Structure 1
Amino acid sequence: MRFIGIAALAVTFALPAVAKEMCNVPQDQWRPVEELKTQLTAKGWTISNVKTEDGCYEVYAKDETGKRVEVFFDPLSFEAVGTDD
Structure 2
Amino acid sequence: MKSTSIALFAAALSLTAATAFADPTCTTEPKSAWQDQEVFKQSLLDQGYKIKKFKETDTGCYEIYGWNNQGQKVEIYFNPVNGEAVKTEID
Say whether the fold is shared (TM-score over 0.5): yes
Unaligned stretches of 5+ residues in structure 2: 1-19
Residue of structure 2 in register with 1:48 after alignment: 52
Residue of structure 1 in register with 2:83 after alignment: 78
Runs of 4+ in 1 over 6 A off after TM superposition: none
The alignment-based identity, stated in percent, is 33
Residue of structure 2 in register with 1:31 after alignment: 35
Unaligned stretches of 5+ residues in structure 1: 1-13
The number of equivalent residue pairs is 69
TM-score normalised to structure 1 length: 0.70
Q: Deviations over 1:1-52 (max 9, x none)?
A: xxxxxxxxxxxxx8x66x31x3222112111111111111111110111111
Higher RCO (CA 8 Å, separation ≥ 6 residues):
1
Counterparts of 1:57 and 1:70 in 2: how far apart (Å)?
Answer: 11
Higher alpha-carbon Rg: 2
Counterparts of 2:88 and 2:28 in 1: how far apart (Å)?
Answer: 17
TM-score normalised to structure 2 length: 0.66
Residue of structure 2 in register with 1:11 after alignment: none
